[in-house]
Structure formats: C-alpha cells, structure tokens
Amino acid sequence: MACVEQVNQELIHKANISIAHAKNALELIQAKMLARGASSFKHFQRRFLIMDDDRSKKLSFEEFKTGLKDIGVNVPDDKLMEAFRAFDKDGSNNIDMNEFVQTLSPKMNAARKDLVLQCFLLMDKTGDRVITVKDLIGSYNVSKHPKYLSGEWTETKVYKEFLKTFEAEGHEDGNVTCEDFMLYYASLSASIDNDAYFRLMMRNSWKHLDKDGKIF
C-alpha cells in the first residue's frame, strides 16, 4: 500500500494549500477536513458527532457555527450561512449526518467510480455487498505484515485492522460497505488530477485483482 500512502501525503499537502486559497466558507471547511488524509471521511463523521451538542442527530446553525470555530473556521456569519445552506440539501434548517458527509466528500468522475466499484465487487466474494474477513481470506496476503511476522497479530487480526481503514466512524465491526469503500477512495481521488495515475494507484493497491485483466 506504499502507493496509497504517497497519494495520502499528496492529499494532505494539497488540502493545506487549499486552506490558504479557499474562495468561500465551504471550500475552507472541505480543505480543513481533507487535511486529515484519506480517512478524512471518518473525521467528517466524528466531527459531526462532536458538533451535535444536543444529540439530536442533526446540526442547527448555532451548532454548525460553534463546531467549525473549534477547528479554526472563522468567517462572517453571512458567509457561514451560505455554507450551511449548501449542506442543508432538504431545506429543513438542520444538517443530518448524510448531508454533512456527502457535502464534504470529494466527487469522483464516472470512470473512477466504476473502477472502485469493480474492485469492491471482486473483493466481495460472498456477493452480499459487504467486505468481511471471510472475503479477504486468500485474497489479501498477510505474510509480510510486520506484526504478523513478529507474532503480535494473528492473520485474522491483520484482516480486521485492514478493514478498519475503510469503515465508517462508530461502525468498526469488520463490515465494509460499498459506501465506506467509495468514500475512502473519493478522498484519495481528490489529490489525483490524472485518471491514468488513479488507475495506477488502484492497480498497485489491488494487484491480486489484476490477474485476469478484468479491471486494469
């Protein structure tokens, strides 16, 4: 996964540049969140829960405003209201978790979405639209993992820790949904301008899926 780590560092670097050049409050919020790296989608969910003071599973404008100030987003209220309305897709004057995550998540073009989806479907050997330890057996090679080699982790433990990379915040139960998988790669995709390089990253990450040439 060395290629992924390199892309992750590029994502963080690009996000930090975007923080300094954000044109509006929404761009600033997105850049602040993406500066956490490829697992920033987990940070989106964690931040939502922190901002939700009354535990209503929705954010009022005041909760939104206070929560963003905590991460260094200090803009005039009128500009912040513009961003709030961009999150509030259904016009309810509140933001739910799905609106929060979907607004912050970078968008992938159709070719990239299709590539990521194909990888997910090939990994999902059981065909239940969820990747579990059972799906990884025989596909993900743990033999060179340092903690497996040292005896600190079992094969199953390596699988479980690997799956946590993609899992949603608060739902780290060994079940990676297609949405989890897509959100992770959408974050990585944000730092890659070239589709060919994105495909190369996916190929290097999932070499075992390249054996029959169906994807790459």
Domain-embedded: residue 153: yes
Domain-embedded: residue 25: yes
Co-location of 144 and 54 in the same domain: no
**Domain of 191: which CATH number?**
1.10.238.10
Domain-embedded: residue 216: no
The pLDDT assigned to 212 comes to 58
Domain-embedded: residue 163: yes
The pLDDT assigned to 152 comes to 94
Q: How many domains does the chain divide into? A: 2
Co-location of 98 and 76 in the same domain: yes
Co-location of 87 and 167 in the same domain: no
Co-location of 12 and 91 in the same domain: yes
CA distance 181 to 78: 35
Q: pTM, whole model, 2 decimals?
A: 0.74
Tell me which of 104, 136, 157 is where a domain ends.
Answer: 104
Domain extent for 117: 110-210
Tell me which of 104, 138, 166 is where a domain ends.
Answer: 104
Domain-embedded: residue 142: yes
Provide the pLDDT confidence category of residue 206 given band limits of 50, 70 and 90.
confident
Domain-embedded: residue 215: no
Co-location of 132 and 201 in the same domain: yes
Domain-embedded: residue 126: yes
The pLDDT assigned to 168 comes to 64
The pLDDT assigned to 72 comes to 87
The pLDDT assigned to 102 comes to 87
The pLDDT assigned to 169 comes to 62
Co-location of 114 and 100 in the same domain: no
Co-location of 81 and 7 in the same domain: yes
The pLDDT assigned to 207 comes to 72
Co-location of 15 and 89 in the same domain: yes
Q: Sign of torsion, CA 82 88 90 94?
A: negative
Per-residue model confidence as pLDDT tens digits over 37-86? 777 777 788 889 999 999 999 999 999 999 999 888 888 999 999 999 99
Percent of all residues in the chain with a pLDDT value above 70, rounded to a whole number = 92
Co-location of 32 and 93 in the same domain: yes
The pLDDT assigned to 135 comes to 87
Per-residue model confidence as pLDDT tens digits over 140-195? 777 878 898 899 999 899 888 888 888 766 667 888 889 889 988 988 898 888 99
Domain-embedded: residue 10: yes
Tell me which of 69, 104, 139 is where a domain ends.
Answer: 104
Co-location of 11 and 67 in the same domain: yes
Co-location of 90 and 120 in the same domain: no
Co-location of 154 and 203 in the same domain: yes
